[in-house]
């Protein structure tokens, strides 16, 4: 686990940070569930502008994250939130790579004297 004050790594189960001495808060399960992002907006944008297959997977995970949040399941909400984020990122990377490749191909064919 990590100290919330100085960010240094502390022994699992330690009550105080070995670096700065701040009391280590045992991860409050219910008070920070609302802070978990479900990345729904990002996944929808990924679907619309980048890569539909990746975006849809991301939306599915985002919705699951939202549902887990509503039912108060922190572990699942975190898990799906991460997945949704990762799939969105992959979708964006794929989308950009695709656009660049497309641009490169059209650039090359435009300057090809044989065409």
Is 19 a binder of Zn ion (CB under 5 A)? Answer: yes
Is 40 a binder of Zn ion (CB under 5 A)? Answer: no
Nearest distance, CB of residue 2 and Zn ion, angstroms = 8
Total interface residues for Zn ion by CB under 5 A: 7
Is 6 a binder of Zn ion (CB under 5 A)? Answer: yes
Nearest distance, CB of residue 17 and Zn ion, angstroms = 3
Pair of tokens at residue 108 = 């090359």
Nearest distance, CB of residue 23 and Zn ion, angstroms = 10
Is 20 a binder of Zn ion (CB under 5 A)? Answer: yes
HSE-up of 34 (CA within 13 Å, CB side)?
Answer: 1
Rounded-to-integer distance, Cα 80 and Cα 88, Å: 12
């Amino acid at each position: 686990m990590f100290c919330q004050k100085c960010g240094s790594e502390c022994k699992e189960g330690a009550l105080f940070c070995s670096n700065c001495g701040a009391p280590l808060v045992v991860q409050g399960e219910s008070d920070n569930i609302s802070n978990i992002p479900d990345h729904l907006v990002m996944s929808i944008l990924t679907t619309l502008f980048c890569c539909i297959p990746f975006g849809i997977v991301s939306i599915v995970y985002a919705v699951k994250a939202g549902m887990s949040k509503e039912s108060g399941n922190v572990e699942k909400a975190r898990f799906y939130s991460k997945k949704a984020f990762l799939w969105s990122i992959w979708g964006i990377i794929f989308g950009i790579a695709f656009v660049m490749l497309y641009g490169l191909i059209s650039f090359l064919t435009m300057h090809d004297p044989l065409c």
